[in-house]
Structure 1
Amino acid sequence: MTLRNQVLIWIAFFIVLMLALWIFRGILLPFVVGATLAYLLNPLVNQLQKWRFSRGWATAVVLLSVVAIILGLFFMLVPLAGQQVGGLIQRLPGYASDLQELARRWAPELNAWLGPEQAARLEATISDLLGRIVGFAGGITGEILASGWGVITTIGIVVFTPVVAFYILLDWEGMVRGVNNLLPVQYKDEIRGILAEIDSSMAGVIRGQGSVILILAVFYATALSLAGLNFGLAIGLIGGLFSFVPYVGFAIGFLLSMGVAIVQFWPNWWMVAVIFAIYMVGQFLEGNILYPKLVGSSININPVWLMFALLAFSLLFGFVGLLLAVPLAAIGGVLVRYGVRKYKASALYLGENGDKGGDQTAV
């Protein structure tokens, strides 16, 4: 088969995949969550198999344990977190008005310090930023509600997700053998290498980055709550969970925390400094400890490409696309890097004689 035909086949496969995702986007959520859960738990099931558990018993023990933990956390935390998130969204316009009022009180000092023109510009910038934050929070809430987070979808996730995860885990080895048997014999080793690279990248995305998001959400929610910040649990969870988007999670959490802290603690600047320090510590932990240790260089995705993937897939497929964006971006990154390697080894790049120095003589 010629290279041209191979490229056409893979392009056709990609188009069919995108079309299927778009057609079935309304019912994919339980299957996406179930498959992700199975991928996360497969190493634990494999470990129990090494301890002489059968595949079925290992799958049942791991899945039941995780479901019990999730349900326990759900009944303990979700009512409180949901109440705080709803209260925060309702209170945001009031916080924005309070901050604008404080800015007007500081206007004489700002005029003396910055000058009338710069002070007016700063006040307009703050008002615009506050309006954007309030609008963004309201838009996100409406999008989530409109995306199907209703009773039917919730029941579907609760009922179908564990079932999907159980059967995927149970037949994991069979699926791997089936895929391996379908690989073209001539290119089997090369495709296995690509799949191993994809698996490493996916592990970095789902297991590594998922762990970072969870740790940051717990850290920010706990620290802000202990500091006595109003809606600290909700703000910490929002900032931590949005941290999968580069800089966005930190920006949302930091701006919300500082805005609420200024209104709540003014004129006690020490407490505002404490909230500021919490986010600086969180950024240090994320950049210097959590991300290098848990994710490392396995993802290898440019932040601009990641943000584009998040926006594009959420636009095409809604909330399901938002969940699929980062894993698919990781897979796409692996395939693009493979394509670049093949291009650099081809006659198109090296020339007819394979002269690697040909490009130097042409300059």
Structure 2
Amino acid sequence: MALPVGQQAKYWGIATAVFLVSLWFLGDVILPFVLGGAIAYCLDPIADRLERLGCSRIAAVAIITLVALFVFILLILLVIPTLVQQTASLIETAPALFDRLRTGLTERFPQLMDNQSVAYQQLLTIGEAIQSRGGELINGLLSSALGLINIIVLLVIVPVVAVYMLLDWDNMTAKIDSMLPRDHVDTIRQLARDIDATLASFIRGQGTVCLVLGTYYAVALMLAGLNFGLIVGFIAGLITFIPYVGALVGGTLAVGLALFQFWGSVEVPDGDTIAYGTNWLRIGIVAGIFGLGQFLEGNILTPKLVGGSVGLHPVWLLFALSVFGTLFGFVGMLVAVPIAAMIGVVARWGLAQYKDSLLYRGKSEDD
């Protein structure tokens, strides 16, 4: 005999409350395990494919681990030092770039940039804030997010957790399936399949899009000669999962830096004198890089890798990231996407049940 609906709701409500309280108090502790589980989830299809090709599970995990280790070493040697150096340089250069902007506006719009005008005072305030807070910002980032102990813990525990979970993934899912309540096992399995399809489309597909576009932006901007091209590409690729925002933010930042770098910096022979002109070609190339990236994302990458029905609306995703990030910090942001996917799938299932019920149809359709 099945438990009454009220008792089931009570038990599941208690389980949800325990989960949220645990997330609240153990956020920093469970961070490596959340990251390791996410990595294992993303790599499990690759391990399954290697098994279908004839490898054992241990051999498949070993191959994936060796490839990941090789990629990680390449990042450590080639990319990460340059990324950190460009980030620090950009923060240090920001006050000078802002002063140049203020000077250019003063020369071109003297009436707007009068010492007593509101615009001038606001720009002055922003410039002083950048100059005073820039160093504090990078020091805070280095001391909190990139602390030595945290780095060591993440670099050691996350790969170990990911390897063990990837090795035992099928057994874990089978064990969880065996513990499902028998009265609702078919419904839960269907919801789990829908959630997995949503997460696979978004995390694996959109993650691949972010990686491809971030690499493209970084390499193309560096080849175009833009200073800080690597960090701009990294930022643009990181937020590409939000439609149009990645290209808009990255393009605005890149074009702005290109204007500072190439405006009035090219020597142009003019008879017997040498004047300084603007390299509009370089600026146009930088803008064209993001235009091409937006075209590739909308017409090739996203349709091929993500598909048309992800099930996570950008507004819902941003709301979930904001709420969970505010309540539970960085760990909350990591679990926001899967929880948002689960809530979305359950909500759609609940809506379908509602439309099949008498509460929606009424008795008139049965008459």
TM-score by length of 2: 0.85
Higher helix share: 1
Residue 229 of structure 2 corresponds to residue 232 of structure 1: yes
Q: Which amino acid aligns with 1:355?
A: E
Question: What is the aligned partner in structure 1 of residue 200 from structure 2?
Answer: 203
Question: What is the aligned partner in structure 2 of residue 169 from structure 1?
Answer: 166
Choose which of 199, 218, 222 in structure 2 pairs with 1:221: 218
Residues 153-189 of structure 1, C-alpha deviation per residue, up to 9 Å, x if partnerless? 1111111111101111111111111111112222211
Aligned equivalents of 1:253, 1:134: Cα separation in 2: 22
Question: What is the aligned partner in structure 2 of residue 303 from structure 1?
Answer: 314
Contact 2:113 2:120 in 1 (8 A): no
Question: What is the aligned partner in structure 1 of residue 299 from structure 2?
Answer: 288
Question: 3-state DSSP class of the match of 2:54?
Answer: coil
Name which of structure 1's ranges 154-163 and 184-193 shifts more when overlaid on structure 2. Answer: 184-193
How many residue pairs get aligned? The number is 349
Residues 231-283 of structure 1, C-alpha deviation per residue, up to 9 Å, x if partnerless? 11111111211223444433331222122111110122222222111111111
Aligned equivalents of 1:241, 1:276: Cα separation in 2: 19
Identity %: 40
Question: What is the aligned partner in structure 1 of residue 334 from structure 2?
Answer: 323
Choose which of 53, 56, 65 in structure 2 pairs with 1:54: 56
Aligned equivalents of 1:68, 1:153: Cα separation in 2: 22
Choose which of 359, 362, 365 in structure 2 pairs with 1:348: 359
Contact 2:40 2:166 in 1 (8 A): yes
Residue 160 of structure 2 corresponds to residue 158 of structure 1: no
Name which of structure 1's ranges 196-205 and 321-330 shifts more when overlaid on structure 2. Answer: 321-330
Name which of structure 1's ranges 202-211 and 10-19 shifts more when overlaid on structure 2. Answer: 10-19
Q: How does 1:123-138 map to 2 (within 5 A)?
A: none
Please state how far the C-alpha of 1:70 moved relative to its aligned partner.
Answer: 1.7
Name which of structure 1's ranges 99-108 and 212-221 shifts more when overlaid on structure 2. Answer: 99-108
Please state how far the C-alpha of 1:85 moved relative to its aligned partner.
Answer: 1.1
Q: Which amino acid aligns with 1:63?
A: T
Please state how far the C-alpha of 1:132 moved relative to its aligned partner.
Answer: 9.6
Q: Which amino acid aligns with 1:210?
A: G
Name which of structure 1's ranges 296-305 and 161-170 shifts more when overlaid on structure 2. Answer: 296-305
Unmatched segments (≥5 aa) in structure 1: 358-363
TM-score by length of 1: 0.86
* Largest Rg, 1 or 2: 2
* 1:148/1:236 CA distance change after superposition, 3 Å: closer
Name which of structure 1's ranges 340-349 and 123-132 shifts more when overlaid on structure 2. Answer: 123-132
Q: Which amino acid aligns with 2:29?
A: I
Contact 1:239 1:253 in 2 (8 A): yes
Please state how far the C-alpha of 1:296 moved relative to its aligned partner.
Answer: 1.8
Aligned equivalents of 2:135, 2:309: Cα separation in 1: 35
Aligned equivalents of 2:130, 2:243: Cα separation in 1: 17
* 1:308/1:293 CA distance change after superposition, 3 Å: same
Contact 2:92 2:135 in 1 (8 A): no
* 1:286/1:276 CA distance change after superposition, 3 Å: same
